[in-house]
Amino acid sequence: MQHEVIILGAGPAGLSTALWCADLGIAAVVFERRAEVGGQLLWVNNPVHNHLGVRAANGRELRDLFVAHASAFRLDIRTASLIGSVELANKSVALENGEVHRARFIVIAMGLRRRQLGIPGEHEFEGRGVFASATADLESFRGKRVCIVGGGDGAVENALMLAAVGAHVTIVHRRSTLSARRQFLERLRREGARIQLITEAEPRRIYGNEVVAGLEIERHGKRDAVETDAVLIRIGFEPNSELFRAALDTDARGYIRVNRELETSIGDVFAVGDISNPLAPTVSSAVGDGATAAKVIASRIRA
């Protein structure tokens, strides 16, 4: 099947690329592996107030606004499309259902995923005491012991919200200082009596029976146990770029390198949004990337 543009991923960057392609008269198809579009927005449970011109109660509400806008353009978005392989040099995408799609341009917009600890018990207790976020159902943690692994914005913000509803919170961080932004650290200092901080500690094992009972940590060469009812893992994100690392130039963390036109190390292959933007992984930058890539593609089609 032949297209002008293949877009991989239907988060904000992919949707923006598709919308701008439609507006510019470019035939594009979007492949999304999940059953619904939205990318990381589907896991943002707190209010979104810093995307210019829009306020939303959470990421899903913002996603719904994007979809309502995009629906007027009749975009060709194919959800539940699992990619089997990609040959970037000849602009070919093979789906697991056997379909092979080709295009003149490919836009990679596959975003990020949450990093994992890679320790025993992490997967075994998922949903039974191991969580990626507490913001979706804060009240369920009231009165419970919660151990948060991480030291960035997500870790500290979750800690503050949990403490506000009466949870007993412990932050475990591998470094001596937290990396969260100043506004969160200032709030943590003001409300620190309700939040315990354990620094220079490495998680080694999550344990329990039917549900989580504790987190084993190593600190200064000694092992210790932190009794807890829940473990929240907030240690950042990593790019979904495994399919492309052998073919494209990436940095040490796997983020795809692009030039000012968002073109990768292979001509007419672009990477937009969080997968190529480790410095500013935001909705606003992702939407802008999509517009830029589509405009560049339009200029090349018309050249």
Rounded CA separation 177/197 (Å): 10
Strand partners, 5: 28, 105
Interatomic CA distance for residues 19 and 28, integer angstroms: 9
Q: Looking at residue 200, what is its pLDDT? A: 97
pLDDT at residue 151, as a whole number? 96
Name the one residue in this structure whose structure tokens are 């589509």. 294
- Residues 6 or more apart in contact with residue 246 via CB below 8 angstroms: none
Report pLDDT for 191. Answer: 76
At 197-240, the pLDDT tens digits run 999 999 999 999 999 999 999 999 999 999 999 999 999 999 99
Confidence (pLDDT) at 190: 87
pLDDT at 135: 82
Q: Are 249 and 264 in contact (CB under 8 A)?
A: yes
> Can you give the pLDDT at residue 216?
98
- DSSP strand pairing (130-131 vs 230-233): parallel
Q: Which residue has the tokens 């629906």?
A: 71
**Selection from 41, 200, 174, 34 nearest residue 117 by Cα:** 174
* Three-state SS at 172: strand
In the chain, the domains with their CATH numbers are 2-114+237-301 (3.50.50.60), 130-233 (3.50.50.60)
The count of other CB atoms within 10 Å of the CB of residue 95 is 17
pLDDT in tens, 27-50: 999 999 999 999 999 988 888 999
Low-confidence ranges of the chain (pLDDT < 50): none
pTM reported for the whole predicted model: 0.90
pLDDT of residue 136: 78
